[in-house]
Amino acid sequence: MCHLAGGELEQIQFLLGHASVETTERYLGCKQKLSHAVNDNLGRHLTGLLTPSGLLSNLVVGGSTSEWPVIRPGSETSWSCDASRCIEIQVKTSKALSSTMQPRRSVSYTVIQEKLKARKVIVLDGPMNSELVRRGIRWCKHGLVTDTAAVEQLHREYLNAGADVVRTNTFQLNRLTYLNVFRNPEHQALIGAPGLRELVPQLLKTAMRLIRQARIKAMKSDTVAIAGMLSPLQHCFRPDLAPAEKAARREHGFMARIFAEEKADFLIAESMNTIREAKGALAAGRAAGLPVWVSFVLGPERELLSGEPLAQALKAMEKGGAEAVLVSNAPPEDISSTLPRLKSIARIPYGGCAHIGKFSPPSWKFDFFPRFEETEMWPPERYASEARKWIAGGSTIVGGDCGTGPEHIAAVSAAASTGEAAGGGH
């Protein structure tokens, strides 16, 4: 991030103690930007000073380790005093934005919005993570350091399959992912790899770059919208660990601003498992000036995984300014039986994504390891026939979750267009 925020490679090399710039380049996975020296870009530099992300990059240069977020279950983020001044600025700015400004709407998002207004079906892409793992990618840093070509390729396949919205490869990617495995920030600094504190913003930017490239190459820049994907700060299936609303808003805000700077068309707060974190993420996204959709993990009871009623979550999202709500992370039959409940109560577009197969985490991994087995029970056609039910019931947003792939999305896309031809079930 230090580099992407304008830090010179030589400086990072020095900070990381690398012997040569080549080592630093290998570590960061990028080349020196000879044509954009940091001090040539004063405007950007000043903007950086006013945001926590910029603050971070500046403190990195100063070698401080003190403004790191620590979130423990249900608690507020605690920030050290070094950062408090800038956080205040951030909060004030956020309030001003969310109360007075409408989100920025890009050309492609407007296209999506118009389609939804006309009650046409919007097809989301499928998962990045479980599909990359299925393809044999070693799951480390979301493949965003080692396997960028595979990531871009998969985005392209979803685009070719007919997705109207593609989502960044950033599920469960946040600063806590890399902090939770240490005793505290100091321990991370002591025994963690150099640059861990700056890793997440750097990966988010890489994820945005790859998805933009894929869309450009598919020549769909004006028709397909890019969703920056926010997701639970703690494990997506552990609502008991979810942060409080304010803490969630702060940390999601950090990411939302990066997505906004990197020209995401909107945000999806994906797989939220509590209302409190969803509210925080929604507010953070709107404060960053982007439209926000929210999806909720369904538990076996077909309410939020936390046990909170779905109807209550929907109401809270509508009140908070969400532009669509989805149900997700559950088997197809669960999505099918849940969506009809939204028909009479939702005032905003709604829909769903199902996962297929069985979640099979390896034994030692601390974070969400996206492996789903027994997915062959749900070939694309069977999945699409389930999606047809969703559309017939009034859902206008359908896509795929873990276990599905480009072929599922192609089948869903075909189902969506025939569904509309038949009148879309309205």
Partner 1 sequence: MSYQFIAEKLAKRETILLDGAIGTEILRREVTWADHQLMSRPEFVRTIHADYINAGAEIISTNSFQLCKRALFNHFRDEAHRRHIGASDLDTRANTLLAQSVKLAIEARQQTKANQPVAVAAAVTTLEWCFRPDLAPSDAQAKTEYREIFQVVKDAGADLVLLETVNGIHEAVTALKVAKEIGMPLWVSFVPTEKGKLFTGETLKKAAAAMEKGGADAVLLNCAPPDDISEGLRQLAPATKLPIGTYAHIGRFDPPEWLFTEEYPPSKYAAESARWKKMGATILGGCCGTTPEHIRQLNSLR
Q: Which member of 37, 50, 118, 140 binds partner 1 (CB under 8 A)?
A: 140
Choice between 51 and 234, CB closer to partner 1? 234
39 versus 364: smaller Cβ distance to partner 1: 364
Q: Which of residues 84 and 337 has its CB atom nearest to partner 1 in the complex?
A: 337
Rounded alpha-carbon distances, angstroms, from residue 206 to 3, 96, 148, 262: 12, 30, 8, 10
Q: Does 131 bind partner 1 (CB under 8 A)?
A: no
Query: Using an 8 Å Cβ cutoff, are 251 and 243 in contact?
Result: yes
Give the torsion through C-alpha atoms of 313, 314, 320, 325, to 10 deg.
120
Count of residues interacting with partner 1 (CB under 8 A): 43
Q: Which of 79, 109, 139, 158 binds partner 1 (CB under 8 A)?
A: 139
Q: Site for partner 1 (CB under 8 A): which residue of 43, 62, 362, 423?
A: 362
Considering the complex, state which of residue 222 and residue 374 has its C-beta at the smaller distance from partner 1: 374
Residue 263 in the binding site for partner 1 (CB under 8 A): no
Binding mask 237-256 for partner 1 (x = CB under 8 A): xxxx----------------
Least Å from the CB of residue 371 to partner 1 = 8
Examine residue 364 and tell whether it contacts partner 1 (CB under 8 A).
yes
Site string for partner 1, 305-344 (x = CB under 8 A): x------------------------xx-------------
Q: Which of 135, 263, 343, 365 binds partner 1 (CB under 8 A)?
A: 365
285 vs 295: CA distance, rounded Å: 14
Binding mask 286-305 for partner 1 (x = CB under 8 A): -------------xx----x
Strand partners, 304: 298
Rounded CA separation 321/100 (Å): 12
Is the Cβ–Cβ distance between 142 and 170 less than 8 Å? yes
Position 192 contacts partner 1 (CB under 8 A): yes
Q: Rounded to whole angstroms, how far apart are CA atoms 131 and 377?
A: 16
Alpha-carbon distance 2 to 79, whole Å? Answer: 20
Site string (27-66) toward partner 1, x via CB under 8 A: ----------------------------------------
Q: Does 193 bind partner 1 (CB under 8 A)?
A: yes
Both tokens of residue 338?
A: 């849940």
What contacts 255, CB < 8 A, 6 or more positions away?
Answer: 170, 174, 200, 204, 228, 230, 284
State in angstroms the smallest separation of the CB of 225 from partner 1. 29
Regarding 376 and contact with partner 1 (CB under 8 A), the answer is: no
CB of 369 to partner 1, least distance (A): 7
- DSSP category for residue 375: G
Segment near partner 1 (CB under 8 A), from 48-56, 96-104, 132-140, 343-351? 132-140
Answer whether 229's CB lies under 8 Å from 268's CB. Answer: yes
In order, the DSSP letters of 98-159 are HHHPPPP--HHHHHHHHHHHTTPPEEB---SHHHHHHTT---SGGGTTT-HHHHHHHHHHHH
**Smallest separation, CB 207 to partner 1 (Å):** 18
> Which stretch in 48-56, 136-144, 167-175, 285-293 sits in contact with partner 1 by CB under 8 A?
136-144
Q: Which of 365, 361, 225, 231 is nearest to 285 (CA)?
A: 231
Q: Report if residue 183 touches partner 1, rule: CB under 8 A.
A: yes
Position 235 contacts partner 1 (CB under 8 A): yes
Residue type, 380: P
Q: Report d(CA 182, CA 197) in Å as an integer.
A: 12
* Dihedral sign, Cα of residue 295, residue 301, residue 302, residue 303: negative
Q: Taking CB under 8 A as the rule, does residue 153 contact partner 1?
A: no
Under rule CB under 8 A, residue 182 binds partner 1: yes
Q: Which of residues 70-109 bind partner 1 (CB under 8 A)?
A: 72
Please list the residues that pair with 324 across neighbouring strands. 293
- Per the CB < 8 A criterion, the answer to whether 196 and 28 are in contact is no
Q: Which stretches of the chain bind partner 1, using CB under 8 A?
A: 72, 138-140, 177-178, 180-183, 187, 190-194, 196, 235, 237-240, 299-300, 305, 330-331, 355, 358-369, 371, 373-374
